[in-house]
Amino acid sequence: MVAMLVASPVWAAEAESEAESEIVVTAQKREQLLIDVPQSVSVVSGDALENIQATNFSDYLKLVPGLQLNQTTPGFGRLVIRGVNTGGVASTVAIYQDEMTFGSSSGLVNGAILAGDFDTFDVERIEVLRGPQGTIYGASSMGGVLKYVMKKPEIGAFEVRARGSVEATKGGDESYLGSAVVNVPLGDTLAFRASGFYRDYGGYIDSIGTAGSDVESNINSSKSYGGKASLLFKPSDNLSVQLGAYLQNLKTDASNNVDSDPRTGRSLYGGLTQSQYVPEGTDVRYRVYSAVIDADLGFANLVSATGYSTLSQSFRGDLTTQFGGLIEAIFGTPNNFFQGQLTRVERVTQEIRLQSPESDTFEWLIGGYYTREKGVIDQTFNAVTPGTLTPIAGLPLLGEARIDSRYRELAGFANATLHLGERFDLTFGGRYSGNKQSALQVSDGILAGGPNTLPVARSSENVFTFSVAPSFEISDQATLYARVAKGFRPGGPNILAPGAPADLATYGSDSLISYEVGVKAETADRTFGIDIAAFHIDWKDIQVFGQVNNFGVNFNGGKAESNGMEFTTTLRPTKGLVFSLNGAYTDATLKDDTPPQVGGLSGDSLPYTPKYSVSANADYEWELGGETSAYVGASVRSLSKQPAGFDFAFRSANGRQRYLPAYEVVDLRAGVDFGKYSLEIYAKNLFDSEGKTSFEVPGNIPLGAAGTAVIRPRTIGATLTAGF
């Protein structure tokens, strides 16, 4: 059996090797051929990521059908798969780095909008699993899973490689990027691998003095830097122990929001501008430490995965437009006003599983999982002297709030595949999990209604999730499958506004059932392949987010549904030439009205999911003689208009939701590979499309404007790579 690559493009040289090899994934936590996995999975190799100059979420969206990003700032974004999104604060897409889950399982630490945007240098591949993955991956994977599979140390191989890039962005500052990796064998049983990266992105948004705001150019510069180290000990073919550490910091001077028309989302004032009174800034830090033991016991493999991770975000948000006038009216003091916030989650995980060897009749996997999480959100509200960050003396405490939360989960799971003859398989599984949560909320200050300490809020729940997936091998090159699966997201204690009703002290879990059918097929010579899937999702007790007295509160709504299809095709008509086309159609809507504090009505589209998205890619490589080769390539991505968040007042007045405009992005690339060295040039967003990725209304922006996050304008760059 051979496999097909379902996420393209791949470079021609890579495609030639893949045409002769089998693509292996770990979507079901065992190594399998991709075509044998009875669900919709996209795979993007590390080589493909490097060749399109991809370092983060926004760079590789075009390679994965149906994956959307709602983002205002690097490290401050929400992933959406198959429209499973209502704007809540608990994640619907789980992020994994190898065996380690990352982020928060609860709705108390902003897990949905702090998706782990790991740098992709020295990544073996990225796997995107669409649809609920609750059986194997647990809570908060009801939309899907994005999994980073990192390159492992290689025993017996020495490698050193480095890359450096420089970029120029239209209307902005230059950017400088560098990365390097080294793999060192330490005898016959031990190897060490380490890599590091530094990304300095120039800003391209200006503050032009609108309504008395600052005058400053390119205020949204950002930096991302860090690295990973891993040690592999493999004394025999039956035992391996791998230790790993990953660190990354993302620092941004301002968001990518621009002042925009609150009706249409189009940018105001003739350019990319943001009204800044107080300089904003965000500092996001990822830390992941892991230990994985894999032992072959003969009758089965034993895998133990132990992880410790932290995610922290501190930011300063400019709220002058919203609160500055109020403070001046009360105290007679001109001021600028900002919110400071620290969000942090500390997580310990342990998973142990036992899995059978490959079999022609029956394969099984059983396991147990435990996680303990500590979360905190700490907010302060501050009035400062205009043009400075100096607090104004003599004012009373304006506002502070803190919530400390705890989350514990214990789960057992099992998955099995029954081979009923040579052509028919039945894969099925279940997971039973229980979680306990607690939260302590303290607030004070005139904007928070004075001192207030709420009793410790607690919640607990148990849930069973399942999946059933029959598949039929039509031929050695084609498989037909179906899948029914349940996804689940925990409820928990709520963050309450002063005077909020007592029945809002907790909110419930939500769950969905997904129905999927698909076909994976390719020609015998692998010159053409197609992967197509259709789905229907029934979602109930949806978690939504609304406002009570300027405090954000989690609610449960009624029902929603999502219907759609995704496809990827790959064509290799001749040596060195690869075409690919992928796309998605998604119709995700509310079936019931949400609570009035949220503002959604039955029939409204779920936020930040375009009905149509299509990407086309073409790459051609040819030999120049000896070890030298050259390549050229192009990508086009087109998105239809996207619905923004729910807004009852706007919908009532206009008879529709707000929408972000449709847009297209064109990228070009070319390079020469000399063997040990390569030189690449590229253009991202060649025609300077003003694509928008978020819509914030009401915004903390003067003159009634909204804030919409914009993609980076046209960027031209060059990369030099050296290695041996």
Kindly report, residue by residue over 100-143, the tens digit of the pLDDT. 999 999 888 998 999 999 999 999 999 999 999 989 998 889 99
The reported pLDDT for the residue numbered 485 is 97
How far is CA 375 from each of CA 96, 312, 432, 456, rounded to the nearest angstrom? 19, 10, 24, 14
Query: Tell me, what's the pLDDT at 13?
Result: 35
Q: At residue 11, does pLDDT exceed 70?
A: no
- Domain segments of the chain: what residues? 12-150+157-723
Contact 226, 176 (CB under 8 A): no
- CA pair distance 5, 8, nearest whole angstrom: 7
Beta-strand pair 362-384/677-684: unpaired
More confident: 31 or 436: 436
Backbone angle region of 493, left / alpha / beta, with phi > 0 → left and psi within -120 to 50 → alpha: beta
Q: Give residue 463's pLDDT.
A: 93
**So what's the pLDDT on residue 504?**
78
Strand partners, 13: none
The overall average pLDDT reported for the chain is 92
Each residue's pLDDT tens digit, 408-433: 999 999 999 999 988 999 999 999 99
C-alpha span between 636 and 665 (Å, rounded): 6
What is the mean predicted confidence (pLDDT) over 594-621? 94
Q: Which two tokens stand for residue 152?
A: 């492992």
Q: Where are the alpha helices (DSSP H) in 291-408?
A: 325-331
CATH superfamily of 12-150+157-723: TonB-dependent receptor, beta-barrel domain (2.40.170.20)
At 293-350, the pLDDT tens digits run: 999 999 999 999 999 999 999 999 999 999 999 999 999 999 999 999 999 999 999 9
Q: Look at residue 498 in the predicted model and tell me its pLDDT.
A: 67
SS3 665: strand
- For 653, the enclosing helix (H) or strand (E) is helix 648-654
Asked if residue 67 has pLDDT above 70, the reply is: yes
State residue 238 phi and psi, 5-degree precision: -100, 0
Q: What single-letter amino acid sits at 684? A: K
Please enumerate in sequence order all residues whose Cβ is within 8 A of that of 502, keeping only pairs 6 or more positions apart, or say none: none
Could you tell me the two tokens for 369? 């999982």
Least confident of 512-521, 594-603, 707-716: 594-603
pLDDT on residue 18: 44
Please tell me which residue, 498 or 185, carries the higher pLDDT value.
185
Say if residue 24's pLDDT is above 80: no
Q: State yes or no: pLDDT of 546 exceeds 90.
A: no
pLDDT for position 300? 95
In degrees and rounded to multiples of 5, residue 49 shows phi and psi of -60, -45
- pLDDT greater than 70 at residue 16: no
Say how far apart CA 102 and CA 287 lie, in whole Å: 9
Alpha-helix runs per DSSP H in 466-509: none
